[in-house]
Structures are given as structure tokens and as C-alpha cells.
């Protein structure tokens, strides 16, 4: 039960619809089913191991206050919880006896089964692979609602991609069963991505139809709309797929991040938040506008170079690197590439004050 409430609590209630603050709880001989929605997205969790006690036990079908139920279950320390439906509340016996409010004379919003059954073409994915791809791409997606489709995650050609216009990430997300056909591009909302990341099962299926998606696994069902603007989404393959930077700098991630942390103390709003990176022989110099600088050892393959980059963008991307070896690829006038296994990370370069005046 704790797993169930942890999953459905990923949904944030709508500020304009009271019913979204409640869950729909059903317990019968088929098990327990808990549903939540936010006025656009639905998530249902099923546990078939839960059973009614006694032959005469009646089915429980109630609408319960979500936050109280979630907090109570999360704070409960006993292994077994007994649930009994009373006239005006749900009685839970765990560490103590509790009266959980229920909503009477209301009907919970559900999805028509005909809609669910109409989703037929699906692909199966590893939950671990999805969570890995999501962990990278959520750091490069736009958080500004004015960016519209850039606040979404593009799934296309077995790649999960995101960008805020300054940072780009493309992470592999391949279906478990090999399929030569290219998938229809899907632009996932942040809300759907958060719900999918909560799936506790090893695998899940994605079905897409009429700008809606259905996500199913052994114990989860998620349904909701995709984000409008998939056709306007920028072609990130034109940035990621082209090898623009021919020079390579191998540097310790921990030294790089620590240096950026210290130097960020000397960045002000007048500096436009950028630092200058100078790649020279076996050293990388990082310098702020006011002249504060650090030099860290590195291995350079290729030519010397000088670039300007937003320090916050570089810090956030560098922190995603697995292991302590960071590979920075430079050379073009537009981007800095950071290798991280199969995951591709790109940062747009800034223009220095001297260059902007030219």
C-alpha cells in the first residue's frame, strides 16, 4: 500500500478542480485499485494480493482525501493494515485507529474503457533505461512556461531529447523488442514524465493515438495528453548528429565542478553569467569577467582554443557526468560537446563582450 500511495502522489491536484484532491479506492475480490488524476492525466495502481476478509465482506468503493491518506500510509510502521468502510468515513487500523474522510454523493472521473481498448499499437521499454534517460534530459528541459513545446520531452527514433534553447541532451531509449519501424514522434509533458518515472515494474508499454498516450505495466496504467507543438520542436539531430568539435579535453569531473563552484562566487549579473575557458597544452584555465581564475590539469588532443560559456549551464551539465573523467569537445564557434557514454550533451557558447562589439 505504501508503494501505491507513493506512485499516485506523484500527481499534483488541480487548483481549479476540487475532485483532484481525492483518490478513488476500490477493494474487491480482484484486489486493490487506487486512482488519482489532475484533470488531464490519470494514474491507476493495482495490487492483486490485497483481499477482502470473510465471505460476507462487501466491496469497498470510495473517494478518499488524497493528502491525508498518503501521509498516514507513509507514516505507518506496521506490516498489516485493516481497512473498513463506515457510513461517513474509512476506518484504518494500523499503529492506531484512524478515520479517513471520504467524499459522499460524488462520482469519480474515469476513462471510458472503449478509449483504453482502442490503443493497440504499443512498444515495450525497460523502466531502468527510461529512468536513466529521464535523469539526464530533465536537466536540459525548459522550465519557462513561455517556451511552450520546449517544456516537453521529445521521444523520437529511440532517443529521448530535451532542450531549453541553451542546453541540449539526447539519451538512448530503445524498445526491448527490436523494431525496424520508426516511432511516431511523441512530445511528453513534464507531468507524464514524472508519472512514468514512478513505475515500480521492470517493463512498461507505450501506446500513442490522437495526441494521447497510454502507459501500461504489470501494476500501473497511465493516461494523458501529449504536449502540443511536436511539429514545431527543433531538429536536435542537426546539432547532436553533426561532429562540429574536433578538439578534445579530458579533465577530472570533480576538479572541474569544484573550480566552477568556487568561481561562481565571483559571477555577478553584470558578467552575463559567463566564464572564459582556455584550452592550452595540458591545462584548462577558467576565468571570470573580474579576472578571478583557476587552472586545472587536463589532457588536450588537438589544437589550443578559447571559448565563452554560461557557468550555470556548464555546472549543471558537468554534474551529470558518470565517473570522474570529463571529455569536453571544442573547436566550433557555436557549441561545446560533453561526452557521457551514449548520452550526448551540448551547450551553446556565449559571446564575449569584445566579440559582441565587433
> Got the DSSP string for 302-321?
S--EEEEEEHHHHHHHHTT-
Q: Can you list the positions of beta strands (E) in 76-200?
A: 82-85, 89-93, 97-101, 122-126, 153-156, 159-163, 167-172, 186-188
Burial 180-194 (b: 16+ CB within 10 A, else e): eeebeebbbbbbbbb
Instruction: Specify the DSSP element, H or E, that contains 355.
Output: helix 353-357
**Using CA atoms, how far apart are residues 279 and 287, in angstroms rounded to an integer?**
12
Pairing state of beta strands 60-65 and 186-188? unpaired
Residue 251 grid coordinates: 579533465
Which residues, listed in sequence order, are joined to residue 286 by a DSSP beta bridge? 277, 294
Give residues with Cβ within 8 angstroms of 103, minimum separation 6: 19, 22, 62, 63, 64, 65
**Using CA atoms, how far apart are residues 33 and 49, in angstroms rounded to an integer?**
11
**Using CA atoms, how far apart are residues 209 and 227, in angstroms rounded to an integer?**
13
165 dihedral zone (left: phi>0; alpha: psi -120 to 50; beta): left
Helix, strand or coil for residue 354? helix
pTM: 0.88
Residue 239 confidence (pLDDT): 81
Q: Is 65 exposed, middle or buried (0-12, 13-18, 19+ CB in 10 A)?
A: middle
Cβ atoms of residues 335 and 348 within 8 Å:
yes
Cβ atoms of residues 52 and 59 within 8 Å:
yes
Cβ atoms of residues 92 and 82 within 8 Å:
yes
Residue 55 confidence (pLDDT): 55
**Tally of CB atoms within 10 A around 77:** 6
Which residues, listed in sequence order, are joined to residue 6 by a DSSP beta bridge? none
Residue 180 confidence (pLDDT): 57
Burial 147-171 (b: 16+ CB within 10 A, else e): eebbbbbbbbeebbbbbbebbbbbb
Q: What is the pLDDT along the chain (358 residues), one digit of tens a residue?
A: 888 999 999 999 998 999 999 999 999 988 999 999 999 999 999 999 887 876 546 789 999 999 999 999 999 999 888 898 898 999 999 999 999 989 988 899 888 888 888 888 788 999 999 999 999 999 999 999 888 999 999 998 899 999 999 999 999 998 887 665 667 899 999 999 999 999 999 999 999 999 999 999 999 999 999 999 999 999 888 888 666 788 999 999 999 999 999 999 998 777 678 899 999 989 999 999 889 999 999 999 999 999 999 999 999 999 888 888 899 999 988 899 998 888 999 999 976 555 443 3
Q: What is the CA radius of gyration of the chain?
A: 25
CA distances from 198 to 43, 49, 163, 189 (A): 10, 20, 23, 15
**Strand-by-strand arrangement of the 82-85 sheet:** 82-85, 89-93, 97-101
In degrees, to the nearest 5, what angle opens at C-alpha 229 toward C-alphas 204 and 137? 50
Cβ atoms of residues 161 and 154 within 8 Å:
yes
**Strand-by-strand arrangement of the 167-172 sheet:** 186-188, 153-156, 159-163, 167-172, 343-348, 335-340, 325-330, 247-252, 293-301, 283-287, 274-280, 305-310
Amino acid at each position: 500500500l505504501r508503494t501505491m500511495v507513493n506512485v499516485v502522489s506523484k500527481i499534483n491536484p488541480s487548483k481549479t478542480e476540487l475532485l483532484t484532491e481525492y483518490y478513488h479506492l476500490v477493494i474487491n475480490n480482484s484486489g486493490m485499485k487506487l486512482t488519482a488524476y489532475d484533470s488531464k492525466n490519470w494514474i491507476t495502481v493495482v495490487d492483486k494480493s490485497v483481499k477482502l476478509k470473510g465471505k460476507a465482506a462487501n466491496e469497498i468503493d470510495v473517494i478518499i482525501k488524497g493528502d491525508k491518506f498518503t501521509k498516514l500510509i507513509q507514516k505507518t510502521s506496521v506490516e498489516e493494515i485493516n481497512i473498513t468502510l463506515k457510513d461517513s468515513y474509512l476506518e484504518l487500523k494500523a499503529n492506531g485507529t484512524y478515520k479517513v474522510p471520504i467524499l459522499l454523493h460524488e462520482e469519480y472521473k474515469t476513462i471510458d474503457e472503449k478509449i483504453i481498448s482502442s490503443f493497440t499499437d504499443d512498444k515495450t521499454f525497460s523502466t531502468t533505461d527510461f529512468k536513466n534517460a529521464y535523469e539526464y534530459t530533465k536537466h536540459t528541459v525548459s522550465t519557462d512556461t513561455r517556451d511552450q513545446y520546449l517544456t516537453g520531452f521529445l521521444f523520437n527514433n529511440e532517443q529521448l531529447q530535451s532542450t531549453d534553447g541553451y542546453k541540449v541532451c539526447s539519451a538512448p531509449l530503445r524498445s526491448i523488442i527490436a523494431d525496424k519501424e520508426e516511432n511516431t514522434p511523441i512530445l511528453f509533458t513534464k507531468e507524464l514524465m514524472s508519472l512514468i518515472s514512478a513505475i515500480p515494474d521492470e517493463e512498461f508499454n507505450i501506446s500513442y493515438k490522437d495526441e494521447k498516450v497510454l502507459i501500461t505495466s504489470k501494476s500501473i496504467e497511465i493516461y494523458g495528453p501529449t504536449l502540443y507543438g511536436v511539429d514545431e520542436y527543433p531538429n536536435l539531430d542537426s546539432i547532436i548528429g553533426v561532429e562540429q568539435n574536433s578538439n578534445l579535453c579530458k579533465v577530472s569531473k570533480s576538479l572541474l565542478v569544484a573550480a566552477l563552484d568556487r568561481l561562481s562566487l565571483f559571477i555577478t549579473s553584470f558578467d552575463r553569467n559567463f566564464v572564459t575557458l582556455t584550452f592550452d597544452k595540458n591545462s584548462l584555465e577558467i576565468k571570470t569577467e573580474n579576472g578571478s581564475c583557476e587552472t586545472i590539469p587536463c589532457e588536450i588532443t588537438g589544437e589550443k582554443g578559447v571559448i565563452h560559456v554560461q557557468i550555470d549551464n556548464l555546472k549543471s551539465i558537468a554534474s551529470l557526468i558518470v565517473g570522474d573523467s570529463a571529455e569536453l569537445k571544442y573547436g566550433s564557434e557555436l557549441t561545446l560537446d560533453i561526452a557521457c557514454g551514449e548520452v550526448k550533451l551540448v551547450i551553446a557558447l556565449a559571446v564575449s563582450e569584445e566579440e559582441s562589439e565587433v
